[in-house]
Structure 1
Amino acid sequence: MGDRRTAFAARREAMGYTQESFAAELKAEVSTVSRWERGEATPQPFRRPRIAKALDVTLQELGTLLEQAPASARCPATAAVVSPDPAEADDMNRRDLLRLFSATGALLALPATGDVVLADAASGGALDAMGAEESAVFDGNLWRVYGLASNKSQVLPLVRTQLDVLTDALRQSQTPATRRRLCQRAADLFQLAGEIYFDGDRYTDAAHCYTLAAAASKEAGAPDLWACALTRHAFIAVYEHQYTEAVPLLDLAATLASRGDTDLSTQHWVAAVQAETFAGLGDLDACQRALETAAEVQHLTGPVHNGGWLRFDGSRLAEERGTCFVTLGRLDLAEAALTDALNAALTTRRKAGVLTDLAMIGVHRADPEQVVAYADTVLATARKTGSGVVARKLRDLQPYLAPMLGDQNIQRLDVEITDLISGHVA
C-alpha cells in the first residue's frame, strides 16, 4: 500500500463520492483530497467534523481511516510531526481573513455611538483625526508596494495588520469626522484586498471585498471612492464575460462619479470599463462613445488620481481600445491600438494582456506562428509571476486553439497552458 490511505479512499467511494464531489461537499480543492488519499497530507482538525459527517463515521473512526500517515510523519524521529499542507494552510488563513473582513464590515454598519473621544491614540484609546490621516498615508504606501510586488499575495498580511488596527478603532467611540476617515480607510483597504484576491483568481472573495468597500464608501459619504468600488465589482463580471450583470453597477458608478470631484479621473475610468462592457454586448457605437469619454482624461490638469484606489490616468487607453476591438472582431482597429500599447512602458501583467490579445488576433487569422510567438511570452510571464490574472487570460485563449490543433506548435502550446492552469488551481 505504501503511503496511500486506501481505507479512506474506499470509504469515500462507498459513500458514492468521486474525488470531485467529495471536494465540493467539503469546500476543498480536488488536489487537496487527492493529497489526503495519497498520504501526502493529513486533514487539519478544523476539517475533520465535516469529513466525518460526509463519510458517516465518528471522529475516532475517521482517525483510524487516516492512520496511514505520510512517511515523514511515521518516521520514529518525527513521530508526532505531520508535514503541513500549504494549500490547507492558505485556505485557513483566507477564511480567517474573510472573517476579519466581515467583522469590520459589521462594525461599519453600526450607527455612530456619539461625538466623545474616550482617549487618545497613544494611550490605546480612540484614534484621533491626526492618527487617522497618518494611517491613511500608510495605506497609500501599501498600494505602491502592491504595484511593485511580483507576487501580489505577499501584500495581504500587511493589509490584514492594518485592518486589525482599523477594526479596534471602529469598536471605540469616535467623533463623526474621525469615523468618516475610518470608513474611508476601510473602503481603501477592502479595495486593495479585493485587487489581491482578483490577481489570485479568487473572484468570489474579491467581490466580497468590493461589496464591503462600497458599503464603507457610502458610510463615509465619499462618491469617488464608492464609484471605484462598484467599478471594480463590475469588472469581475466583465472579466467573466457576464456583461449584462456589469451594466447596472457601472450605471450607478457613473452617477456617483458625476457627483464627485471633477478634477479626478473617476468618471473616465468608469467609462473605460463601460467600453469593455459595450464591446462584450456587441455595441460598437456605444463602445466608441465610452472610449471617447475615457479619453477626455487627457484634458484634465493636475493630479488626476491618488495612486491607490484610483489609478486611471489614460495611459492604458491603447490597451483598452485594443481589448474592446478584439472582442468586437474589428481586428484592423485592434492591431493598431495594441501595437501602440506595446510601444509604451508597460508593467509585466499589462504587457501579458496586450500579447494575449495579439495572440487572439492570430487565432482569428488562423496564423499559428503569430499565436505561438505571443502566447509563449505570456506563458513565461505566468510561470514567473504566478499571477491568476495572466493565467486566466491564457485559459480564455485556450478554447480558441481547437481549430488549429493540427499544428504541432499549437498542440504543444495547448498542453503547456493546461499544465499551467492545473498547477495554478492546485
Structure 2
Amino acid sequence: MGLAERRKAMGYSQERLAAAIGVDRTTVGRWERGETTPEAFHRPGIAEALRMGLDELDALLTPSPAGFQERTASPPCVRHGSEEIDDMIRREFIRLMVMAGALTALAPEDADAVAEAADRRSPADFRLTNGHLWQVYQLARSKSSVTPVVQDHLGTLNDALRESREERGLCEAAGDLFQLAGEISFDGNRYADAASSYALAASASSSARAFDLWACALVRHAYVDLYEKRYAEAADTLDVARRVAERGDSALATRHWVASVQAEAYAGLHDLDACERALDEAQRVADLSTPVHNGGWLRFDGSRLAEERGARYVQLGRWDLAEETLTHALESRELRNGQSFRRRGAVLVDLAAVGAKRRDAEQVMTYGGEALRLAGQTGSGYIARKLQGLRVELEKCGLDRRVAGLSAEIGAL
C-alpha cells in the first residue's frame, strides 16, 4: 500500500490531509507521486492523521529497490544490485553531511536571503526534530531503517545553513544530527563512514562552542578505534574529550560517560588500576541530580555500569569477577524485559566468552546461542561485531562439535 492508498483508506482527500498537516495540497500530491518525501518535522503529523506508527510511515515512504532504480535510471548496460543501491544511498548520505559541514563555516552575504530565512525553521525546530529522530533510532530494531528520514532532514538542514545567519544554533543542530548519522553507520559496521560523521560532528560542535555535544562526538569517534582495538589512539582521543567535557555543563553526565569509555581503553591496555579509577569516576554520575542526560546525543545515566564493569573484567581476564557482575546485570529489569536488545546481546556474548575461557561448552551454547538468535532477529551490527570477537575465542579453546557449529553460524552471520 502506498501513501495515496492509505490516505483514501482513512477517508481523506488530498485537500483534507494537507489541511490536517499544514501544507499545500500540491505538496501532498508530490509526496504521493514519489517526487519528494515529507520532511522529518511533517512526519509525526502525517502518522497521526493516518493512524500509523512512525516506523510504519517510514516503511511506507521508503522506496523499494525497484522504485529507486526507476528514479535513478541508468543506461541499460548498468546493473544495480541491492548492494549497489545501498552504496548509492550511502554516498548521497555522506555528500549531504559534507555539504552541511562546509556550510556551518559559511554565512550568507545577501541580506535578502537572510530576511527570507526568517520565515524558515529555527535552530530550536531542528533540535526538536533531532530529538525525535534519536528516539526513533533507539526504538528501531533495524537501525538502517532510520536512514531515509535522517537523510531528508540533512537536506533540510543544508537549505537552512545556506540562508541563515543563526550560525551558532544551526552548527549545534548539525553537530547533533551528524552524531546520529554516525551511529547509523557504526551500527552497520561502516567504520570509515562513522568516523567521518563523528569528525564532522566534532567540528560543527566546536564552532558552536557546545562543549558537551563536542565531547560526545569525540567519545563516539574513540569508539571506532576501540572496536578496531586501537586502544592507545582511543585513549588519546578520550583524554581530549575529558578536557572538553570539563568546560561543559557540570549538571550533565558527559564527563562521567567519558570516564566509562576511558575504562574500556585502559582495559585494552591491560591497566587494571586506571580502569578501576575510570569506572569509579563514571559511577559518580549517581551523585548528580536528574535529569543528567537529554535522551539524544547524551544518554549516559550510569544504569549500564554493572554490565560495563563486567565487560572490562572480561577484557582484563578476571573471569570470576566478570561472571558475577554480568550475571547480575543480565537479571536487571531493563535487560530481562527486552528494553535494550543491544545491551542484552553484549552481556550474553561476554558471558559466553567467560564460558569459553573456562572451557564450559554448556555456558557457551546457552549464552552464545541466545546472542546469535538476537543478532539475527534485530539485524544489529553491534551484536554481530561482539559475536565475531567471541568466535575468535571459540576457535582457540577447541570445544565440542556444538560449539564448532555455533562458531560456523557466527561466521555466516
Q: Deviations over 1:227-278 (max 9, x none)?
A: 0000000011112211011112101100011110000000000000000000
Partner of 2:186: 198
**2:170 aligned with 1:189, yes or no?**
no
Partner of 2:367: 374
The match for 2:351 among 352, 358, 361 is 358
Question: Which segment drifts farther, 274-283 or 401-410?
Answer: 401-410
Q: Deviations over 1:57-84 (max 9, x none)?
A: xx99xx6xx9xxxxxxxxxxxxxxx7x4
Q: Distance in 2 between matches of 1:194 and 1:144?
A: 15
**2:95 aligned with 1:95, yes or no?**
no
Q: Deviations over 1:25-81 (max 9, x none)?
A: xxxxxxxxxxxxxxxxxxx9xxxxxxxxxxxxxx99xx6xx9xxxxxxxxxxxxxxx
Partner of 1:245: 233
Q: How many angstroms does 1:186 deviate by?
A: 0.4
Q: How many angstroms does 1:173 deviate by?
A: 3.9
Q: Distance in 2 between matches of 1:117 and 1:261?
A: 37
**2:162 aligned with 1:171, yes or no?**
yes
Partner of 1:159: 150
Q: How many angstroms does 1:349 deviate by?
A: 1.1
Q: Distance in 1 between matches of 2:249 and 2:381?
A: 33
Question: Which segment drifts farther, 315-324 or 334-343?
Answer: 334-343
Q: Distance in 1 between matches of 2:366 and 2:268?
A: 26
Partner of 1:135: 126
Partner of 1:104: 100
Q: Deviations over 1:302-336 (max 9, x none)?
A: 21000000000000101110111100001121112
Secondary structure at 1:301 match in 2: coil
Secondary structure at 2:282 match in 1: helix
Q: Distance in 2 between matches of 1:92 and 1:348?
A: 29
Partner of 1:34: none
Partner of 1:393: 386
| Identical residues among aligned pairs (%) | 53
Aligned residues: 338
Larger Rg: 1
Structure 2 counterpart of 1:185, which letter? A
The answer to whether the Cα contact below 8 Å between 1:198 and 1:206 also exists between their aligned partners in 2 is yes
The answer to whether the Cα contact below 8 Å between 2:108 and 2:162 also exists between their aligned partners in 1 is no
Q: Distance in 2 between matches of 1:406 and 1:181?
A: 57
The 1:207–1:403 alpha-carbon spacing in structure 2 relative to 1, beyond 3 Å, is closer
Partner of 1:316: 304
The 1:418–1:129 alpha-carbon spacing in structure 2 relative to 1, beyond 3 Å, is same
The 1:218–1:409 alpha-carbon spacing in structure 2 relative to 1, beyond 3 Å, is same
The 1:281–1:128 alpha-carbon spacing in structure 2 relative to 1, beyond 3 Å, is farther
The 1:117–1:372 alpha-carbon spacing in structure 2 relative to 1, beyond 3 Å, is farther
Q: Distance in 2 between matches of 1:300 and 1:285?
A: 25
The answer to whether the Cα contact below 8 Å between 1:368 and 1:404 also exists between their aligned partners in 2 is no
Partner of 1:295: 283
Question: TM-score normalised to the size of structure 2?
Answer: 0.78
Q: Distance in 2 between matches of 1:117 and 1:293?
A: 51
Partner of 1:47: none
Structure 1 counterpart of 2:263, which letter? A
Question: Which segment drifts farther, 125-134 or 386-395?
Answer: 125-134
4+ runs deviating over 3 angstroms: 112-120, 127-130, 403-406
The answer to whether the Cα contact below 8 Å between 2:314 and 2:350 also exists between their aligned partners in 1 is yes
Q: How many angstroms does 1:118 deviate by?
A: 3.6
CA RMSD of aligned residues (A): 2.3
The answer to whether the Cα contact below 8 Å between 1:117 and 1:173 also exists between their aligned partners in 2 is no
The answer to whether the Cα contact below 8 Å between 2:104 and 2:170 also exists between their aligned partners in 1 is no
Q: Distance in 1 between matches of 2:365 and 2:353?
A: 10
Q: Distance in 1 between matches of 2:160 and 2:84?
A: 31
Q: Distance in 2 between matches of 1:140 and 1:202?
A: 23
Q: Distance in 2 between matches of 1:150 and 1:165?
A: 26
The 1:310–1:114 alpha-carbon spacing in structure 2 relative to 1, beyond 3 Å, is farther
The answer to whether the Cα contact below 8 Å between 1:272 and 1:291 also exists between their aligned partners in 2 is yes
Stretches of structure 2 lacking an aligned partner (at least 5 in a row): 1-68, 70-74
The 1:299–1:97 alpha-carbon spacing in structure 2 relative to 1, beyond 3 Å, is same
Partner of 2:403: 410
Q: How many angstroms does 1:162 deviate by?
A: 1.1
Q: How many angstroms does 1:127 deviate by?
A: 5.0
The match for 1:149 among 140, 145, 163 is 140
Stretches of structure 1 lacking an aligned partner (at least 5 in a row): 1-43, 45-58, 67-81, 421-426
Secondary structure at 1:310 match in 2: coil
Q: Distance in 2 between matches of 1:241 and 1:404?
A: 21
Partner of 1:33: none
Q: Distance in 2 between matches of 1:417 and 1:405?
A: 16
